[in-house]
């Protein structure tokens, strides 16, 4: 079915930016540029009844919940506040729209609205990395991908935090109307029509919490000597343990295997060097203990989702 109609569901404490993303992609007349106009409606629990936003202003939807039914896409913006405050009638209308054939699109924490409506059960989805654990705990049958900018699961499209809503909206346009239309909209918005990488590149990766003071010196020494070669055997020898005992204790203390922890910390160190220095990738690879740029690129892309050069272009402080 061609994408012709989009209804945006707004609730109390709607996040303005996320709602604005939906409006920017689907609610602006771009017919002069060759983009078909969408039948765009803003829908709330009651037409004409003001709703609070997350920034101290009010929003007045022109349409009620009945306008969700029959729309090609129902877009759900992020909402702050407890999920228990979601109006039951809004959740029922969202379920009814989905049952009638609408594709549900959520932006950021809008995934919780879909979850409360029962639409995430057994489905692939995502949300902002800060909310991913809460989403998984509240909807245990949902299949959550914490690393991507958005997930397309057919009639359910969910996006990660904030600006990732742009990626999800443009992806839906591309899927239904093709790249030419998407590129026109993206140019008008002055954004790339498709970003590479996922939200892993935006997640801070702190050093794992140490559970006991007795084991902390082992982790501290490794962190101070990342440029040195490390094996489970060499680390165990320094800790006066057998390799087997050391590996078991390490998993208990750090939550991961010794070598994976070392690799994670080397990548974290490389991230900081890419952000804060002008050192070339080869030198950073040496300092981080990877030995060469090829190995750094391999692990960096696997863990962060983009290449070191792309990461530096986006996050270098000198830029």
- Examine residue 45 and state whether it is found in any structural domain, yes or no: yes
Residues 52, 194, single domain; the answer is yes
- Examine residue 208 and state whether it is found in any structural domain, yes or no: no
Confidence check: pLDDT of 217 > 90: no
Final residue of a domain: which of 201, 224, 239? 201
List of E strands, the chain: 5-9, 39-43, 51-52, 58-59, 73-76, 103-106, 124-125, 143-144, 150-152, 156-159
Sign of CA dihedral 107, 112, 114, 115: positive
Sign of CA dihedral 180, 185, 191, 197: negative
Confidence check: pLDDT of 311 > 80: yes
Residues 23, 63, single domain; the answer is yes
pLDDT in tens, 152-170: 999 999 999 878 899 899 9
- Examine residue 60 and state whether it is found in any structural domain, yes or no: yes
Domain count, the chain: 2
Residue 222: name the closest of 255, 259, 194 by CA.
259
99 three-state secondary structure? helix
Token look-up 């609610």 returns 27
Determine the pLDDT at residue 141: 96
- Examine residue 92 and state whether it is found in any structural domain, yes or no: yes
Q: 159 is in which domain, residue-wise?
A: 5-201
Range with the poorest average pLDDT among 54-63, 111-120, 144-153, 198-207: 198-207
How far is it, in rounded angstroms, from Cα 312 to Cα 27?
A: 35
Two tokens, residue 195: 């970003």
How far is it, in rounded angstroms, from Cα 123 to Cα 162?
A: 21
254 vs 225, higher pLDDT: 225
The angle, 0 to 180 degrees and rounded to 10, between the axes of the packed helices 243-254 and 258-276 is: 50
- Examine residue 210 and state whether it is found in any structural domain, yes or no: no
Angle at Cα 300 formed by Cα 318 and Cα 168, nearest 5°?
80
Two tokens, residue 90: 């809004």
CATH of the domain at 138: 3.40.50.880
Q: What rounded mean pLDDT belongs to the chain?
A: 88
Region 221-226: what's the mean pLDDT? Answer: 86
Determine the pLDDT at residue 39: 97
pLDDT in tens, 247-269: 998 888 877 899 998 998 899 88
**Confidence band of 209 (pLDDT split at 50, 70, 90):** very low
pLDDT in tens, 185-201: 988 887 776 665 555 54
Residue 159: name the closest of 193, 190, 121, 114 by CA.
114
H-type helices in 27-64, by residue range? none
The DSSP code for 207 is: P
Contacts of 65 (CB under 8 A, 6+ apart): 9, 43, 44, 45, 89, 90, 93
Residues 191, 225, single domain; the answer is no
Residues 51, 137, single domain; the answer is yes
Sign of CA dihedral 257, 262, 263, 265: positive
215 vs 35, higher pLDDT: 35
Residues 265, 189, single domain; the answer is no
CATH of the domain at 292: 1.10.10.60
């Amino acid at each position: 079915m061609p994408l012709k109609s989009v209804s945006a569901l707004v609730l109390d404490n709607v996040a303005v930016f996320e709602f604005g993303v939906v409006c920017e992609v689907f609610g602006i007349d771009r017919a002069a540029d060759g983009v078909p106009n969408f039948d765009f409606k803003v829908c709330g629990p009651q037409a004409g009844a003001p709703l609070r936003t997350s920034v101290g202003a009010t929003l007045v939807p022109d349409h009620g919940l009945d306008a969700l039914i029959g729309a090609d896409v129902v877009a759900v913006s992020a909402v702050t506040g407890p999920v228990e405050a979601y109006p039951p009638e809004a959740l029922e209308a969202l379920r009814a729209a989905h049952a009638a054939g609408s594709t549900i699109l959520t932006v950021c924490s809008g995934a919780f609205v879909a979850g409360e409506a029962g639409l995430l059960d057994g489905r692939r989805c995502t949300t902002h990395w800060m909310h991913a654990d809460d989403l998984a705990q509240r909807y245990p049958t949902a299949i959550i991908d914490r690393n991507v900018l958005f997930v397309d699961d057919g009639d359910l499209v969910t996006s990660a935090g904030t600006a990732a809503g742009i990626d999800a909206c443009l992806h839906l346009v591309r899927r239904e109307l093709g790249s030419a239309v998407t590129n026109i909209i993206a140019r008008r918005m002055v954004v790339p029509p498709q970003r590479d990488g996922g939200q892993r590149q935006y997640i801070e990766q702190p050093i794992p919490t140490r559970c006991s003071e007795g084991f902390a010196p082992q982790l501290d020494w490794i962190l101070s000597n990342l440029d040195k070669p490390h094996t489970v055997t060499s680390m165990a020898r320094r800790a006066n343990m057998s390799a087997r005992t050391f590996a078991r204790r390490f998993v208990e203390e750090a939550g991961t295997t010794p070598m994976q922890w070392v690799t994670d910390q080397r990548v974290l160190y490389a991230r900081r060097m890419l952000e804060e220095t002008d050192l070339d990738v080869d030198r950073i690879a040496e300092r981080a203990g990877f030995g060469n740029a090829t190995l750094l690129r391999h692990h960096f892309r696997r863990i962060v989702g983009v290449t070191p050069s792309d990461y530096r272009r986006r996050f270098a402080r000198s830029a």
